[in-house]
Structure 1
Amino acid sequence: MAKKRDYYEILGVSRNATDAEIKSAFRRLAKKYHPDVSKEPDAEEKFKEAQEAYAVLSDKNRRKQYDQFGHAAFSGSGGTGGFDFSDFDFSDIFEEIFGSAFGFPFGIRTHSHRKRRGADISVRMTITFEEAVFGCKNKISLDLLDTCDKCDGRGGKGEKTCSNCHGSGSITQEQRTPFGVYLTRRTCSVCGGEGYEFESICSSCKGTGRLNKTKEFTVNVPAGIDTGQQLRLAGKGEAGEKGAPPGDLYIEFTVLKHDLFIRDDSDIYLELPLTITQAVLGDKVDVPTLTGKVKLTIPPGTQDGDKHRLKGKGIKSLNSNRVGDLYVITRIIIPKTLSKEQKELFEKLNKTNLDNDKAFKIFREHLK
C-alpha cells in the first residue's frame, strides 16, 4: 500500500497555516481538479485527496489530532486508512466556489440535502501527576444532543413519500439567461430535503430525532498522557441528524504539578537536598522514584547542581514502549543557624586551608 501523503503537502500549505489559508488552498484545488471540470486523468483521485485533507485540517480538533499523531489518529475510521470524510458537508464551500444563484454549471452534482453527522464535543479534564503517569479511569457527565429514544431518531412514524418533491428531496427549476439555460436545484421546503414526510411527528423530539440528554462516560486515560494532549473517543459526540453518524468526543488534559517531581516529556527531575558533610564526604541515600525508593551513591566532593541519571525510572511514552529516565539534581543546603558546637567545628575547619581549590587561586590572582 502506498504511503499516504501529508495533508499539509496535499493542500500546499505550511503546518502553521491559518484557517483562511487552508480554505483558500482547498478552493484552488477544488476548482482545478473537480472531476466535472478537469480533464486530467488523475483529477478524481487528486480531488478526493484534497477533500480528505480539507475535512481534517479545517476542523480544530481533527487538526490537533493529526498534528499530534499523523494519519494514525484516524486509522480504522475510513476505508483508505485515513479520515472518513464521507459525512463531511462540503456544500457551503462548493457553493462559494461554483456559485448557487444559477445552479451549478458544468454538470456539477450536489446533494439536495445531506444528513449532517453529529457535532464534535471538546471538554477539558484535570488529572493528577500519578494518574497521568500510570493511567486511570475517570467518569465525566456531559449535556449533549442524543438520539430520541421514542422514535429511534427518525423524527416520527408513518413515513410516506413527499407529495411536493415526489421523494427526490429537491425541486428543480429551469432558468433562462443570456448565457444559456441553467437548472437550479433547491431543497424541498415541505420535507426539508428528506424526500419523505411523516403521518405523525414524534411528540418527544418534535420531529428532530434528537433530544438534549445528560450522559455519563468512563474515560480510560492512557498512561503517559501530558498537559495539552487530546484523547479522541470516536462516536461519543452529539447524535447525527436522523441516522447520520455521531460526532466525536475530544478530551484535552491538564496534569497537575507534583510537589517533588518535575516532568519533561518522558523524563522526570527531582532535587535531592544534601548536607554539607554529605556533599564533602559522600553518602548513600534513599531516593524516591515512581515505583518506590532506590539507593543512590553520592560520591565525595559532590557539587551543588550535579546531575545523577537513573535509567528507566522515568515515564512510559504515550505512543511507544520507551521509558524515560529520572534525573537527580543535588542541592547542598547551607544551614542558616548553627548551634555553638557546630559553629566551633566550622571555625576549626576554616583554619585547615579549604581554599586551595583552583577557583580560589584564579580569583586571588585578580586581586593583586
Structure 2
Amino acid sequence: MARDYYQILGVRRDASKDEIKKAYRRLARELHPDINPDPATQDRFKEVTQAYEVLSDENKRRMFDMGQDPYAPGGGGAGGFGGATGFPFDDIVNAFFGGQTGGRGPRDRVRRGRSIKIRVELDLAETAFGVSKEITFPTAILCETCQGEGTSPGTQRTTCDMCHGQGEVSQVTRSFLGQVMTSRPCPQCAGQGSVIPSPCGDCAGEGRVREKVTRTVTIPAGVDDGIRIQLAGEGEVGPNGGPRGDIILEIVQRPHPTFERRGDDLHCTVSVPMTAAALGASFSFETLDGTENIDIRPGTNSGHVITLPNKGVTHLDGGGRGDLRIRIDVETPGKLDEEQEALLRKLAELRGEDQNPGRFSPGHGGLFSKLRDAFGANK
C-alpha cells in the first residue's frame, strides 16, 4: 500500500476509535487553514482527514487492514470531501465551529404563557372543611383589540424581507471543507419569518395585555400547609395569543390559638384545677364543629387524653376525618391562704398523707412513701 493511514495519524494499528478521533482532532487543529494558512499544509490536511475517514469507519478500516485502500484507484471509495463516504461532516464542523448546519425554519411565534404561583392563607377551619376563595393577582390576558394577532385593526403581518419568511439567515464561512454555510435566527423578525408593520396600539404587538384579575377558586377539604394546587390553563396568556399557563396555589395555614394540627388530628391542652380533677367536672369546649360538653372523671391525672373521634381535619381523599385529642393538665395551686391551707392539711390528715416522708417505711404510709418507693424501684 502506498499510504499508511495509521502512520499518517500517528496511532497504533490497534488504536481505539476514541484514540483515532483524538489524534485526528489534534492534527486538524494544527493544520486547519484558518489557523495555518500556508498552502503547503492543505494537502497534508486533506491526507489527515482522509486517514480519519477510513480508520473511523469500521468497514473501511477492515478493508484497509486486509490490504485494500478504499481511496486507491478501484478501491471502491467515493473520494473527495462531502461525498457518500461516511465522512463525519457534522462531527467535524461542530468540533471547529460549535454550531449547526442546515436550516431550522421559522420559529413558532405562538408560545405558551407563564405559570403563576400564588400564596393562599387559610384558617384551620378552612383547611379542615374546604372553602371558596376570591384571589386577585396581576396576569396577562388576551388583547381584545387584536385578538392576539398583535396587529392594529385592518392590518396584518407581512413576510420578513430579510429572511424571506424562512426565519433564519445564512452565512458562508471558509473552512477546510471549502465553503460552509451556517444559519442563525433572523435578527429582523426574531426567527418568526414575518413582521408587524403596524403593531396594535393596546398591546404593542405582543397580542396580550397585563391587568389585575379576580378569580374564585375552590380549595378542597383536608389541604395542609405547604400543599400546592395546580389549576391547569388558568395562568398567563402566551405571546401572540398562545395558550395559557397554569396557576399554582401554595397553601399557607395560619396558626390556630387553641389547636395544633398533626396530620389530620388536632391536639390541644386544657388546664383544670386540682379539685376538678379530683372530684370530677364538666365544661363546655369549642371545637371546629361547635360547642362540645367535656366530662372530667373523678381522679383524672395530669397527662390524661380525652379523644373526640371524627372532630379533626377532613382527610384529603374524602374518607372521613381525624380525631380531636384533648390533653388534661392538672393545676396545683401555688399560693394558699390560711383557710385553704388548713383545709388541705385536714384532707392530707384524713388520707394519711400528713406524715413526714422520711418516717415512712417501704410499702407503708401515703403519697410521699409511694413516690420514694417508685423512684427507688427505678434505680
Q: TM-score, normalization: structure 1?
A: 0.63
Per the alignment, do residues 357 and 297 of structure 1 end up closer, same or farther by CA in structure 2, a change over 3 Å counting? farther
Matched, 1:353 2:352: yes
CA contact (8 A) 1:112 1:186 kept: no
- 1:303 is matched with 301
Shift of 1:362: 1.5
Shift of 1:209: 1.5
CA–CA separation in structure 2 for the residues paired with 1:180 and 1:353? 112
- 1:211 is matched with 209
Alignment of 1:39-54 (within 5 A): none
CA contact (8 A) 1:155 1:206 kept: yes
Q: 1:248 aligns with which of 232, 246, 249?
A: 246
- 1:119 is matched with 114
Shift of 1:123: 2.3
CA contact (8 A) 1:113 1:192 kept: no
CA contact (8 A) 1:271 1:329 kept: yes
Per the alignment, do residues 100 and 148 of structure 1 end up closer, same or farther by CA in structure 2, a change over 3 Å counting? farther
CA–CA separation in structure 2 for the residues paired with 1:108 and 1:198? 23
Matched, 1:103 2:99: yes
Matched, 1:144 2:143: no
CA–CA separation in structure 2 for the residues paired with 1:116 and 1:251? 23
Shift of 1:186: 1.9
Shift of 1:168: 2.7
CA contact (8 A) 1:282 1:300 kept: yes
Shift of 1:358: 7.0
Per the alignment, do residues 100 and 304 of structure 1 end up closer, same or farther by CA in structure 2, a change over 3 Å counting? farther
Shift of 1:271: 1.2
CA–CA separation in structure 2 for the residues paired with 1:108 and 1:321? 57
- 2:326 is matched with 328
Larger radius of gyration, structure 1 or 2? 2
Shift of 1:320: 4.3
Write the deviation string for residues 196-255 of structure 1: whole angstroms up to 9, x where unpaired: 233421112111222221111222222222222222222222221112222222222221
Matched, 1:132 2:143: no
CA contact (8 A) 1:102 1:183 kept: no
Alignment of 1:159-238 (within 5 A): 159-178=157-176, 183-238=181-236
Shift of 1:136: 1.7
- Residue identity (%): 32
Q: Which moved more, 1:158-167 or 1:145-154?
A: 158-167
The unaligned stretches of length 5 or more in structure 1 are 1-97
CA–CA separation in structure 1 for the residues paired with 2:106 and 2:278? 80
CA–CA separation in structure 2 for the residues paired with 1:131 and 1:100? 62
Shift of 1:337: 3.9
Task: Report the residue type matching 1:143 in the other structure.
Answer: P
Shift of 1:365: 5.5
CA contact (8 A) 1:103 1:182 kept: no
Task: Report the residue type matching 1:202 in the other structure.
Answer: C
Shift of 1:295: 4.0
Shift of 1:297: 4.2
CA–CA separation in structure 2 for the residues paired with 1:277 and 1:307? 18
Q: TM-score, normalization: structure 2?
A: 0.62
Alignment of 1:8-87 (within 5 A): none
- 1:13 is matched with none
Task: Report the residue type matching 1:226 in the other structure.
Answer: D
Shift of 1:301: 2.8
CA–CA separation in structure 2 for the residues paired with 1:300 and 1:109? 84
- 2:373 is matched with 362
Task: Report the residue type matching 2:244 in the other structure.
Answer: P
